[in-house]
Chains A and B, each alone.
Chain A
């Protein structure tokens, strides 16, 4: 039914356009989103402690226990025999990024359920920019956690070449972007917070164990050719290798290509999924909503 227009409407007058947002406005927006994520992280001390304890348990207990069992031989990028603790450190950095990426997508599901996400989505900035900002915020928090872990590992005697701590930064950034983008894409597929636990089990654990994070690929190939092929299809494999080589100032080009490609793929998927005119929000609307 069509109702008569109310007074005040004058047909045919062109709408006034505002001054377009410049680079300064985009940077303000990005800074605001990153700052909020950092503040949330600081307010959730338990999250920081658990993110630190998890890899340290692996380093202190698992690695110490399995040092004698799991020999790794000399494989690139290592030029000499390395302790098992040294071998799994890049994998544990990847583990932090993986958990943190999923955690940030968990926070997106939480934000969506609690309504905070709406505040982000009704911002006049382009949706893709808002999602990239959110991703960068998640990566910034992840990298802080990785360096906190590396400091404790260093104090424990697990040391990389001094410059490796600098070289690894771009690899951590790119891998973090890929995993945050994956988390963001997954968060768009989840309708309720409760469903997220299942995704965590189906993504984090298979992703982590079917990778060279804990044992080299040649060992996996010896044990199970099928598992080896699965590992090769796992993007997390390439993130770990990218980080491992970066610690020694080397670029593993295949890993770089796969991680960069997957980042773009997952990010593109997330942008489509969060676009109200094209993505999965439409399906959510169709599934039901609060009238």
Chain B
């Protein structure tokens, strides 16, 4: 299936540009002057241990929280000033399950389509095609409640793609899934980057989900400690592998303070 994406010439602009973003919960600093950008049609892994600030960053990018310090641009559209334009280009899979369990798969997807102004035959066609993409064809009339965790995730991915976004954000999308489901979902997303040219920001704390060709952004206690191609980040930090580099960069002492790299 070929996606008709909502950008076009705008592909020359960064898919996501995070500029000097800070965020606090009261006195507690969750993100501290974080800046990075990701190019269209790339798979970027947002790495960080629990509490690193990944979910906060997702909430800011998706405009659930207000970006009070710094700026976030999606294909050039500022999330504060032009949130509608920005959100039209983003598909989001949240860490928490967000399907309505009382509704069927089709009803869940159709609801999301309407929230993007897509209705009627067009919505039906897109739903059918995407269920095939995520290997869930024939399940549209099943209640969401009857699906397994992995199947729910697949439906959430299909839902995030319904409005043909150019940037897909996935927050810990494989948490709680078995190895087979994890691999299947990861493969589906990587295929989308290759085949459809969608930019992906994949937040995880599972280092084995990173491949050599990926880009990584590493957060530690709200600070950005590294970003770039896997090979560049590994080399720049004197590691032999991204696993070793990530382990070194995310090390935290017993008091919860980041340890300085030697």
Binding site for B on A (CB under 8 A): 1-10, 13-18, 21, 24-26, 28-29, 31-33, 35-36, 39-40, 43-44, 114-116, 118-126, 130, 276-277, 281-282, 285-291
Contact of A18 among B6, B53, B107 (CB under 8 A): B6
A287 contacts B77, C-beta separation under 8 Å: no
B56-115 interface (Cβ within 8 A of A): 56, 59, 62-66, 73, 75-77, 80, 83-88, 90, 92, 94, 96-100, 102-103, 107, 110-115
B103 contacts A13, C-beta separation under 8 Å: no
Q: Within the assembled complex, what's the spacing in Å between the Cα atoms of A31 and B113?
A: 11
**Nearest CB in chain B: distance from A130 CB, A:** 8
Contact of B39 among A7, A277, A281 (CB under 8 A): A7
**Nearest CB in chain B: distance from A26 CB, A:** 7
Q: Within the assembled complex, what's the spacing in Å between the Cα atoms of A281 and B14?
A: 29
User: Which residues on B sit within 8 Å (CB–CB) of A285?
Assistant: 23, 25, 65-66
User: Which residues on A sit within 8 Å (CB–CB) of B17?
Assistant: 5, 9
Q: Within the assembled complex, what's the spacing in Å between the Cα atoms of A122 and B59?
A: 10
Question: B57's closest neighbor in chain A, by CB?
Answer: A291
B84 contacts A4, C-beta separation under 8 Å: no
8 contacts between A and B (CB under 8 A): A2-B224, A8-B15, A13-B13, A31-B119, A40-B102, A116-B100, A122-B92, A291-B53
A32 contacts B114, C-beta separation under 8 Å: yes
A291 contacts B52, C-beta separation under 8 Å: yes
With A13-B12, A125-B84 as known contacts, state yes or no: A289 contacts B7, CB within 8 Å.
Answer: no
Contact of A289 among B25, B102, B107, B112 (CB under 8 A): B25
**Nearest CB in chain B: distance from A21 CB, A:** 5
User: Which residues on A sit within 8 Å (CB–CB) of B85?
Assistant: 15, 17-18, 124
A277 contacts B66, C-beta separation under 8 Å: yes
Q: Within the assembled complex, what's the spacing in Å between the Cα atoms of A290 and B30?
A: 9
Q: Is the C-beta of B230 less than 8 angstroms from some C-beta in chain A?
A: no
Q: Within the assembled complex, what's the spacing in Å between the Cα atoms of A115 and B113?
A: 17
B25 contacts A28, C-beta separation under 8 Å: no
Q: Is the C-beta of B200 less than 8 angstroms from some C-beta in chain A?
A: no
Q: Within the assembled complex, what's the spacing in Å between the Cα atoms of A130 and B64?
A: 14
**Nearest CB in chain A: distance from B25 CB, A:** 5
Interface residues contributed by chain B, number (CB under 8 Å): 84
With A5-B37, A289-B56 as known contacts, state yes or no: A121 contacts B64, CB within 8 Å.
Answer: yes
A119 contacts B56, C-beta separation under 8 Å: no
Question: A126's closest neighbor in chain B, by CB?
Answer: B84
With A6-B39, A276-B66 as known contacts, state yes or no: A15 contacts B117, CB within 8 Å.
Answer: no
**Nearest CB in chain A: distance from B23 CB, A:** 8
**Nearest CB in chain A: distance from B203 CB, A:** 12
* Interface 1/0 per residue, B1-36 and A, CB below 8 Å: 000001111101111010010011110101011111
B64 contacts A36, C-beta separation under 8 Å: no
Binding site for A on B (CB under 8 A): 6-10, 12-15, 17, 20, 23-26, 28, 30, 32-42, 44, 51-56, 59, 62-66, 73, 75-77, 80, 83-88, 90, 92, 94, 96-100, 102-103, 107, 110-120, 159, 215, 217, 222-228
With A6-B42, A291-B30 as known contacts, state yes or no: A123 contacts B115, CB within 8 Å.
Answer: yes
A31 contacts B80, C-beta separation under 8 Å: no
With A39-B103, A43-B102 as known contacts, state yes or no: A290 contacts B112, CB within 8 Å.
Answer: no
User: Which residues on B sit within 8 Å (CB–CB) of A35?
Assistant: 111, 114
Question: A291's closest neighbor in chain B, by CB?
Answer: B30
**Nearest CB in chain A: distance from B260 CB, A:** 13
User: Which residues on A sit within 8 Å (CB–CB) of B24?
Assistant: 286
A124 contacts B116, C-beta separation under 8 Å: yes
User: Which residues on B sit within 8 Å (CB–CB) of A125?
Assistant: 84, 115, 117
Q: Within the assembled complex, what's the spacing in Å between the Cα atoms of A125 and B120?
A: 18
Q: Within the assembled complex, what's the spacing in Å between the Cα atoms of A40 and B144?
A: 13
**Nearest CB in chain B: distance from A220 CB, A:** 42
**Nearest CB in chain B: distance from A131 CB, A:** 13
User: Which residues on B sit within 8 Å (CB–CB) of A21?
Assistant: 84, 117
User: Which residues on A sit within 8 Å (CB–CB) of B111?
Assistant: 32-33, 35-36, 119
Could you list 15 further interchain pairs (A-B, Cβ under 8 angstroms) beyond the known A18-B85, A33-B111, A119-B115? A3-B217, A5-B36, A8-B41, A15-B77, A21-B84, A29-B116, A31-B119, A33-B115, A36-B107, A39-B107, A115-B96, A115-B98, A116-B100, A276-B63, A277-B66
Which of B13, B54, B80 is the most central at the interface, judged by chain A CB atoms within 10 Å of its CB? B13
Q: Within the assembled complex, what's the spacing in Å between the Cα atoms of A277 and B38?
A: 25
Ranked 5 nearest A-B pairs via Cβ? A32-B114, A8-B39, A15-B76, A25-B117, A16-B10
Contact of B222 among A115, A116, A123, A291 (CB under 8 A): A291
With A14-B76, A18-B85 as known contacts, state yes or no: A3 contacts B119, CB within 8 Å.
Answer: no
User: Which residues on B sit within 8 Å (CB–CB) of A43?
Assistant: 102-103
User: Which residues on B sit within 8 Å (CB–CB) of A25?
Assistant: 117
B38 contacts A6, C-beta separation under 8 Å: yes
A8 contacts B14, C-beta separation under 8 Å: yes
